Amino acid sequence: MTYPFLRARHFALSFVTGAALALATVSPSQAAAKIQRLVSPGGIEAWFVQDATVPLIAMEYSFAGGSAQDPKDKSGVANLVGDLLDEGSGDLDSKTFHERLDRRAIELSFSASRDSFRGSLRMLRDNKDEAFDLLRMALTSPHFDTVDVERIRSQVLSGLRRETTNPSSLASRKFLEVAFGDHPYGRQSNGTLESVPTITVADLKDYVGRVLARDGLKVAVVGDVDPATLGKLLDHTFGGLPAKANLVPVPDVDAAKPPQRAFVPLDVPQTVITFGGPGVKRSDPNFMAAYVVNHILGGGGLSSRLYREVREKRGLAYSVFESLLWMEHSAVFIGNTGTRADRAGDTIDAIEKEVRRIAEEGPTQKELDEAKSYLKGSQMLALDTSSKLAQALLQYQQDKLPIDYIERRNAIVDAVTLDDAKAAAKRLWGQGLLTVVVGRAPQAAAQPAATAPKSN
C-alpha cells in the first residue's frame, strides 16, 4: 500500500544497475508457487522467493512501531531516525558509509509509516555480504553525530517550510487533524516546525532502543540467494538486535464522523480539495467488497465515476482520485483534487453528489464486473519485479494475510457480489464527507455546509 503521507530517502543505483533491477521479473503465478516461510538458525523468519533470473537480491523489512511511537510533543522522531541511520555507523563515518554504498551499487533506505519503521535493501548478488553488513551496522550502531543530526534536521525543516506554502501538504495535514484529533494518527509523521528543533540525540537513541527489536520484525526477500546463505545473512544482520521492543500502546480510533468541512486560506492559483471519511480496516471481512467498490468510485483512474463526473462531464478539474487507507488501529478513505478558486464550490458539489448517489444506489453489475476484471489483471503488473514482489510480501505480512494470499486473491475478488458492493458503498459513503479546502476559495466553499458542524 503506497500513499503520499509516507516519505523515504533513496540512494539511487547507477543507471545500468537500476535498469537491471527493473528487469528482475517474477510473475505472480511463479511467485505464488515459490514463496517459502524461511526461519534462520537464530529464529529470524522471512517470506522468501528464490529467483535466479538475474543476479540481484531485494529485501524489504519492517519493525512494529512507526511514527505512532513518537513522543506526543516531539512528532518527527521516527522520520529523523530514518534519515540518520545511514549517516555513519560502526567504524564508518557518514562519508565513508555512503562511499561504500556507492562503490558497490547498494541501495539502502529507511522510512517511517504510522505503524511501522520500514527499510529496503537492494544489491547485486556478489555484493550481498557487504550490503547486509552495512545494514547491520546502520541498525545496531548508528552514530547520530551532532554534525550529521544538525545537517539532516536542517533539511527536514527546509522541507517543512516548503510545505507551509504547498496546498496539498496543508490539506493532507488538516485532514488528519480533523479525522483523528489528538490520536497519534492525527500528527504529521515528518514532524512540525515546532517539534523538530526540540528533538535530541537522546530521543533518537531512545526510539532505536525501543522500536528496533526482533519481536516486531517482518522480512521479505526475493532474489538470487539460496535459503541456507540467506538464513546466515539474516542472523548476521538482525541477530544482534534486542529480543523485545518496548512500545507505547496505541489505542484503536474511529475517524471523525462526517459531514464536516474545514477551510485553510492560502494565496495560491489553484484550490486543493481533500475529502474522505471513516474507512474499512484490512482485517474486516468486508474489506474486499469495499476495495472493489472504491475502485469504481474513485480508484479506477480514467474509468472511475468521480473522474467522469468531475473531469469529463463538467471540466472542473484535471484529475480526481480517491483511495482506501488502512492502518493497524483505524482506517479512512481519502481523495484529492485541484481546481480554480471560483469553481471550488461546484467541484465539491459534484463530488458530494456522486458520493451520495453511489451510497444510495450502489454500483451497477456492469461496473462491478469491470472493476473485478481490472483488479485481477492489474495484479500481474503490481508484482512484475523482484522489488515490487518483496514490497508486496512485506505488506501482506503486516496485514496479517496468509502466505498463499497471492494465489487466493483473485478468488476473493470474484466472490464479491453486487449486494456486497452495495452494502460496502452505503457503509463507506452513507454519512457524507470530511472535506478540507485549501486556497483562495470563494466564500461558499470556505464556509461549512448548512448541515455540517464547524471544524476547529
If asked whether residues 52 and 110 sit together in one domain, one would say yes
pLDDT for residue 120 is more than 70 = yes
9 within some domain: no
Contacts 24+ apart (CB under 8 A), 145-152: 145/87, 145/88, 145/93, 145/94, 146/201, 148/84, 148/87, 148/88, 148/94, 149/80, 149/84, 149/201, 149/204, 152/80, 152/83, 152/84, 152/87
Flag the least confident range among 17-21, 106-110, 419-423. Answer: 17-21
Q: Which helix (H) or strand (E) holds 168?
A: helix 167-180
318 within some domain: yes
pLDDT for residue 450 is more than 70 = no
8 within some domain: no
If asked whether residues 217 and 273 sit together in one domain, one would say no
Of 238, 269, 302, which marks where a domain is finished? Answer: 238
If asked whether residues 226 and 275 sit together in one domain, one would say no
If asked whether residues 160 and 233 sit together in one domain, one would say yes
244 within some domain: no
If asked whether residues 32 and 175 sit together in one domain, one would say yes
Q: Could you tell me the residue range of the domain that residue 334 belongs to?
A: 260-446
Mean pLDDT of the chain: 90
pLDDT for residue 443 is more than 70 = no
Q: What is the pLDDT of residues 158-182, one digit of tens each?
A: 999 999 999 999 999 999 999 999 9
If asked whether residues 64 and 202 sit together in one domain, one would say yes
Cell 456486497, residue located? 420
If asked whether residues 223 and 302 sit together in one domain, one would say no
426 within some domain: yes
395 within some domain: yes
270 within some domain: yes
Q: What is the CATH number of the domain that holds 227?
A: 3.30.830.10
If asked whether residues 219 and 265 sit together in one domain, one would say no
Helix (H, G, I), strand (E, B) or coil at 45: strand
**Number of domains comprising the chain:** 2
